[in-house]
């Protein structure tokens, strides 16, 4: 099925809709590319992608995420090890883990996340404010689905836990399609591509592993309190 064949609403709201089953999964399972900007990434938020990807047939799909630069220590350790192994340990199209990463694979969420990275070419970059005009962290919230027919569904207004079955915020999601709202969708695509290629004012974009090795990533206040 193509994105255009889905029965999509212009808005999904927590009091009347199931955003995961009615919007996210149908769009993701019928896409070849998924782009997303979020406030922060965690093992849990990345693992929620399995909601849609477990049933997707096209393993040539690609996922690109742009995140803020704050992490918990445990999430940063796990994510960096997985992505570092992804970049440096790939042989004949498969992911081979060194010993320090292998211990993580005992966790089922990590195993699923490893498979997503391997199968769907998951890439993550971080956005770090670099101007006095932006005080704090990157918090843009949008996503873009693209199918094999080059039709696009874009959305905005989501948080990190929008697609988390265990812990969802009360919120609304605004939806735009390339066949009904071409201009707005094109703007969303342009905004994401500018971010991805580091052409956006007031933020600097880095590859996740580079940012970690250069000590550009920060720990969250939740981590500071919990210690």
The residue among 97 and 175 whose pLDDT is bigger is 175
**Any idea what DSSP says for residue 24?**
I
Q: Give me the residue label for tokens 């080059």.
A: 150
Q: What separation in angstroms does the CA of 109 have from each of 19, 78, 130, 131, 210?
A: 22, 11, 34, 36, 24
pLDDT digits (tens, 9 = 90+) for 204-215: 999 988 988 888
Determine if the pTM surpasses 0.85. Answer: no
With a cut of 60, say whether residue 9 has pLDDT above it: yes
Band of residue 217 on the pLDDT scale cut at 50, 70, 90: confident
With a cut of 70, say whether residue 99 has pLDDT above it: no
With a cut of 90, say whether residue 197 has pLDDT above it: yes
- CATH superfamily of the domain spanning 3-226: Endonuclease Chain A (3.30.870.10)
Q: Give me the residue label for tokens 């704050």.
A: 70
Q: What pLDDT, on a 0 to 100 scale, did the predictor assign at position 25? A: 84
> What residue spans define the domains of the chain?
3-226
């Amino acid at each position: 099925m193509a994105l255009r064949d889905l029965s999509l609403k212009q808005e999904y709201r927590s009091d009347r809709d199931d955003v995961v089953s009615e919007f996210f999964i149908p769009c993701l399972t019928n896409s070849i590319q998924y782009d997303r900007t979020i406030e922060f990434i965690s093992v849990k938020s990345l693992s929620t992608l399995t909601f849609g990807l477990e049933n997707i047939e096209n393993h040539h799909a690609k996922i690109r995420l742009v995140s803020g630069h704050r992490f918990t220590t445990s999430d940063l350790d796990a994510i960096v090890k997985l992505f570092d192994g992804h970049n440096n340990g790939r042989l004949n199209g498969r992911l081979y883990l060194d010993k320090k990463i292998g211990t993580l694979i005992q966790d089922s969420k990590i195993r699923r996340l490893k498979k997503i990275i391997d199968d769907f070419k998951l890439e993550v970059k971080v956005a770090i404010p670099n101007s006095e005009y932006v005080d704090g962290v990157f918090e843009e919230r949008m996503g873009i689905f693209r199918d094999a027919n080059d039709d696009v569904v874009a959305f905005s207004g989501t948080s990190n836990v929008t697609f988390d079955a265990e812990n969802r915020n009360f919120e609304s999601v605004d939806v735009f399609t390339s066949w009904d709202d071409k201009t707005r969708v094109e703007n969303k695509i342009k905004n994401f591509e500018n971010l991805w290629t580091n052409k956006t004012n007031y933020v600097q974009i880095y590859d996740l592993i580079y940012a970690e090795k250069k000590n550009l990533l920060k720990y969250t206040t939740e981590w500071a309190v919990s210690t």
